[in-house]
Structure 1
Amino acid sequence: MNLFTKTTAWDERVKNSKATNIEIDERSKERLIFLGITKETLAHVQLAAEVVEPYKAEIIDQFYENIVSINHLKGIIKENSTVDRLKITMEKYLDQFLQAELNQEYIKTRMLIGEVHSKINLTAEHFISAHHLLVQYITSIVMEKLYKKKSRMIDAVIGVQKLAAFDQQLIVEVYAESTFKGFLFGISDMINHTTQLDTTQKLIEGMEEQINETHSVSSATEQMSASIQEVSDHAVKVAENTDEAVQSAEQSKFVIDEALHAIENVGTVYDDVVSKVDNLDEEIENTQEVISVIKDIADQTNLLALNASIEAARAGEHGQGFAVVAAEVRKLSEHTKEQIEQITANMTSLHTVSSQVTTQIKQTGERVDQSVTGARTAGTELMNIISKMQSISQGTNQIAAMSEEQASTVQEITNRNTVINELSTDLQKQAEETAKIIFDLSKQMDHYRSTFFATNIRLESKDIIRVAKTDHLLWKWNIYNMFLGLESIGAAEVISHEACRLGKWYYGNTSADFKDHQSFHQLEAPHQAVHQYAKIAVECFEKNDSVGARTALHQLETASSTVITLLSELEK
């Protein structure tokens, strides 16, 4: 205690000066004031550098020897870098620390350290422990080398501790912010992906359509079953009628065969008739020759009777008897001649009739031949008809059997369709339950995401853009789930485009780098449209105007997509 009560009291060295003469950004200046860091403090660190510099390599070697003795830390190094590379980085850090030129570049390097440690998942606990170990090495060397110069030693040690505390505070703060942002944006990305699961409504509607279709299929299968049964009944009747027709055709074939046999017998009789008619013609011709001879004899008899009459007249009375005989002979001759003429006329008529009969018999013969040929052809065709009718009968029987199988298949389709209907109904319920689970999960993630904003982490413009993306996707998501009956939103809850997080950033003190960007100027109109269509969608939904609500939702999605695209361009 005597050390701090002689010339320089300890409270003089550590008291808060409530000001600093180091020009730096306001946030860092607050830390410097809190820790009491001034240019004099930096000068004391530079004094410490004079005695520490020769031991820098030894400090670094000892530091990493202790670090790699911890398996967890050794694993992080192996996964992300090497000890040799880290030693080079540590040398740069020590050089910058001992030079104690506290400016924006110095602060930027410390912030980078915090960001890197957050990315490689080095915990703040391990970092602080390791940093304290480094400060121990430095202060131990300072105390060992300056213990004879107590005032300089104390100033140097306190300067090192103050600047090290500033480094720790800055690095840990950036580490915490980076870690929190990592969690925040990780949750935001999860929410962004979750809001893309907007197919539930289509799935539910699809299941509803599928259920309706199954009803239609059931109705159609019932009608089909009835039609198939009717076809089967007709097929059975046709088969029965075909069997009867086959039997009738076979009976007809028997009759035709009998008729064909009779016609063939007729042909045989016809041949006999033709032969006899030919004989008749020959007899008629022979008879005509005999008649001609008889006529010649009659003529000669008549001539003789005439001569006898002449001779009897010459004989006088002695020739009267002979004259009587001659007169009788002449009468007989004349009578014979008349009979011969009559017979000749009859024979001529008979010959004419015989010729006509012969002609008709020949025609009849030709027709008999045609009838025989036709009968044989008819028999052959009838056999073909019988064969075809038997095939038809078999095919009809097969149709009847197939109809029964088809009816069985249709019944199976009906049964399967009933199962599909039940499964569709279950799937629809599961889709609704899944939609609720997903929406509840998104609400929980958004609630967890909101807790990060209460940690007072600094959100730069790029961070606000990422957050705004999620905000707008959530707007669309909540409106979408309102249609599913999972969210309740009133028109009054839809805030203006100026009051939301993006609006406050857009109309606030935004960096000129963003304000001069073309995408920034294009952002206002679609952003305003998002809130406008959201309000219209809610109002239409409250009025049960589903068509108007869905139209507004579609317009909201279009405007939101434009906003997201422009924000992505700004983020780059």
Structure 2
Amino acid sequence: MFFKKQAQTESNQDLDKLIAAMQNVIDGNLETVEVSDFANPAIAETFNRMITYGFKASTNKFTLTLNDSMEIIGNCECIKEMIEQVESQTHSIEDMSTSSQSLGNAINNISGAIENIVANTSEASETAKRSASNMQQSIQYVNEANEAMDTITHMILAFREKTAQINEIITIVKSIAKQSGLLALNASIEAARAGEAGKGFAVVANEVKELSNNTSASTEDVVRYVAELQSGIEELVSIIETTSKKLNAGNTMVTDSVTDINKINDEISIINEEINSIYSSVETQSVATNQFVEGINNLSDAYNELLEDCMKTGHLMHKISRSVDNCRSDMARKLSKLTRNQWIRVFEVDHIIFAWRQYNSLQGYEVLAKIQRPDECKLGKWIAQQKDQRLTSAECYRNMIYHHDQLHKGALDCWNATNASKKDEALKIFTNVIYPNMKLLVEDIHQVRELDAKIEAEDAAKGIVKEDNYAG
């Protein structure tokens, strides 16, 4: 009776422990129980098999599917390319905006310069017209002066002819004076012969003689004055002729200048018309350019908004990928019973996500508290447990370790550059170190998985079953 009661008590205790374990399962804790804690080991072993092969093994397929999905979701290459293209196009649009603004300013400057040229050419044209008009008036004045000079010349020539006539008259007067002198001499002789009776006649003869002498002297003075006057007239005629020739030459030159000025004025008018046409075209182009600049600025604003939307999309994709990754991690490590080969596949996706988290960090999508060393991550811990020479001596395995170390080293450098606000340097490290080593590591892991599957098949053919103790 005592033993029966004891057995009943132990059975009730096992039942309570089983109920507690099942409640843990309901709560999401798929942990096995200690067989030694149960009075009836079969109960514990059955429960553990249910957990291991019933629950965990059944979720393997879902976990691996989620792992494959996470490889696609966690690969931000398309987001990176989209952001880089939009950034590049945004920079190009900004450059175009700056260039178009400069073009608009240049055209406005050209428009202003042409406007000044139009004003200057118009003023030059008016000045040329005034100059031509003034020179035409000067020609008229010169022609009038030339005509006056001709009149004066004719008057002086007529005066010169009159002086010649005066010379003829003086010649006659001199002849008369000479004859009067002879007559007075004859009268004096006759008066002397007549004696006392001729004294009165002698007085007259002396007066006539004195008159003749005075007339001769005056005539000589007049001859001298007329000669001087004729000399002055000749010199004046020569000067007037020279001046007249110079006036005519100057008149010709002014006339030629007026012709040239008129030609220049005509050419200025043509240039002015062309400049007005250019000015009109530039004004039209200026309006079109301003519209183009406005369009480029609007396009630049649109691209900035697009870039912001892309960044928001990247941030949202990061949040989604982190949620899915957390779910994947929990499924793999708590709710699944993965084989060694399947764990290697999980490590592969882990490091794809690990690489792209560096990119998310430098873009500001997330803040990474620290970067694990190669021996701290799940793959590093798994590598440290491997003792099979068939696996550890393989080239693909050694390459995996090398690229794994390089990936973590590049991630640490990228993390330091990001924390130092050196985004360009961090992006350069990601592009030149992290991304290529991640790609090579993925290739290495593929080869390691193939080799591991081959080793497992060889062991299975020999009846060797190895317990997979790695639990992630």
Instruction: Identify the TM-score tier after normalising by the shorter chain.
Output: 0.5 to 0.7
* Residues 484-541 of structure 1, C-alpha deviations (whole Å, 9 max, x = no match): 34345332xx433124354245444366566556786676566335334535655775
SS in 2 for 1:344: helix
Q: 1:552–1:227: structure 2 CA closer, same or farther, 3 Å change rule? A: closer
* Residues 336-382 of structure 1, C-alpha deviations (whole Å, 9 max, x = no match): 11111111121012112202210221122123213422332343244
Contact kept in structure 2, 1:519 and 1:569, CA below 8 Å: yes
Contact kept in structure 2, 1:291 and 1:344, CA below 8 Å: yes
Contact kept in structure 2, 1:482 and 1:488, CA below 8 Å: yes
1:195 counterpart letter in structure 2 = E
Contact kept in structure 1, 2:167 and 2:226, CA below 8 Å: yes
TM-score (norm 1): 0.53
Q: Which residue of 1 aligns with 2:252?
A: 373
Q: How many residues align structurally?
A: 384
Q: Which residue of 2 aligns with 1:264?
A: 143
Q: Which residue of 1 aligns with 2:341?
A: 459
C-alpha distance in 2, partners of 1:325/1:314? 15
Map 1:215-254 onto structure 2 (within 5 A): 238=119, 242=122, 250=129, 253-254=132-133
SS in 2 for 1:198: helix
Contact kept in structure 1, 2:75 and 2:356, CA below 8 Å: no
Q: Which residue of 2 aligns with 1:503?
A: 380
Mapped pair 1:199 → 2:76: no
Mapped pair 1:473 → 2:352: yes
Contact kept in structure 1, 2:67 and 2:349, CA below 8 Å: no
Pick which of 518-527 and 338-347 moved more. Answer: 518-527
Q: Which residue of 2 aligns with 1:329?
A: 208
Q: Which residue of 2 aligns with 1:340?
A: 219
Pick which of 272-281 and 529-538 moved more. Answer: 529-538
C-alpha distance in 1, partners of 2:159/2:416? 123
C-alpha distance in 2, partners of 1:555/1:382? 74
Mapped pair 1:546 → 2:406: no
2:80 counterpart letter in structure 1 = D
1:495 counterpart letter in structure 2 = Q
* Residues 248-274 of structure 1, C-alpha deviations (whole Å, 9 max, x = no match): 765665554454344334433433433
SS in 1 for 2:80: coil
SS in 2 for 1:486: coil
Correspondent of 1:298 among 170, 177, 196: 177
2:81 counterpart letter in structure 1 = T
Contact kept in structure 1, 2:160 and 2:233, CA below 8 Å: yes
Q: 1:553–1:325: structure 2 CA closer, same or farther, 3 Å change rule? A: closer
C-alpha distance in 2, partners of 1:532/1:235? 67
Shift of residue 313 of structure 1? 2.6
Shift of residue 191 of structure 1? 6.2
* Residues 79-112 of structure 1, C-alpha deviations (whole Å, 9 max, x = no match): xxxxxxxxxxxxxxxxxxxxxxxxxxxxxxxxxx
TM-score (norm 2): 0.62
Shift of residue 393 of structure 1? 5.0
SS in 1 for 2:341: coil
C-alpha distance in 1, partners of 2:69/2:372? 23
Map 1:155-170 onto structure 2 (within 5 A): none
1:369 counterpart letter in structure 2 = N
SS in 2 for 1:495: coil
Contact kept in structure 2, 1:495 and 1:531, CA below 8 Å: yes
C-alpha distance in 2, partners of 1:359/1:456? 135
Contact kept in structure 1, 2:360 and 2:366, CA below 8 Å: yes
2:420 counterpart letter in structure 1 = D
Shift of residue 242 of structure 1? 3.3
Pick which of 507-516 and 270-279 moved more. Answer: 507-516
* Residues 289-336 of structure 1, C-alpha deviations (whole Å, 9 max, x = no match): 443453344335434433543443344334434422331221121111
Q: Which residue of 1 aligns with 2:234?
A: 355
C-alpha distance in 2, partners of 1:513/1:180? 31
C-alpha distance in 1, partners of 2:301/2:127? 55
Contact kept in structure 2, 1:274 and 1:358, CA below 8 Å: yes
Where in structure 2 are there 5+ consecutive unaligned residues?
A: 1-59, 449-472
Q: 1:214–1:307: structure 2 CA closer, same or farther, 3 Å change rule? A: same
1:545 counterpart letter in structure 2 = A
Shift of residue 203 of structure 1? 5.0
Q: Which residue of 2 aligns with 1:530?
A: 407
Contact kept in structure 1, 2:178 and 2:212, CA below 8 Å: yes
Q: Which residue of 1 aligns with 2:368?
A: 489
* Residues 393-417 of structure 1, C-alpha deviations (whole Å, 9 max, x = no match): 5456546644653453344235424
1:274 counterpart letter in structure 2 = T
Contact kept in structure 2, 1:277 and 1:358, CA below 8 Å: yes
Q: Which residue of 1 aligns with 2:23?
A: none
Identity %: 23
Pick which of 271-280 and 562-571 moved more. Answer: 562-571
1:355 counterpart letter in structure 2 = E
Q: 1:414–1:567: structure 2 CA closer, same or farther, 3 Å change rule? A: closer
Where in structure 1 are there 5+ consecutive unaligned residues?
A: 1-176
Aligned Cα root-mean-square deviation (Å) = 4.9
Q: 1:528–1:278: structure 2 CA closer, same or farther, 3 Å change rule? A: same
Map 1:77-96 onto structure 2 (within 5 A): none
Q: 1:515–1:285: structure 2 CA closer, same or farther, 3 Å change rule? A: farther
C-alpha distance in 1, partners of 2:183/2:388? 174
Higher-RCO chain (CA-CA 8 Å, sequence separation at least 6): 2
SS in 2 for 1:546: coil
Q: 1:344–1:569: structure 2 CA closer, same or farther, 3 Å change rule? A: farther
Pick which of 439-448 and 354-363 moved more. Answer: 439-448
C-alpha distance in 2, partners of 1:332/1:274? 39
Q: Which residue of 2 aligns with 1:39?
A: none
Contact kept in structure 2, 1:490 and 1:538, CA below 8 Å: no
Contact kept in structure 2, 1:195 and 1:474, CA below 8 Å: no
* Residues 26-70 of structure 1, C-alpha deviations (whole Å, 9 max, x = no match): xxxxxxxxxxxxxxxxxxxxxxxxxxxxxxxxxxxxxxxxxxxxx
* Residues 550-570 of structure 1, C-alpha deviations (whole Å, 9 max, x = no match): 645644554433464477479
* Residues 177-221 of structure 1, C-alpha deviations (whole Å, 9 max, x = no match): 9x9999799768746864364235545655775787798689879
Q: Which residue of 2 aligns with 1:312?
A: 191
C-alpha distance in 2, partners of 1:303/1:519? 165
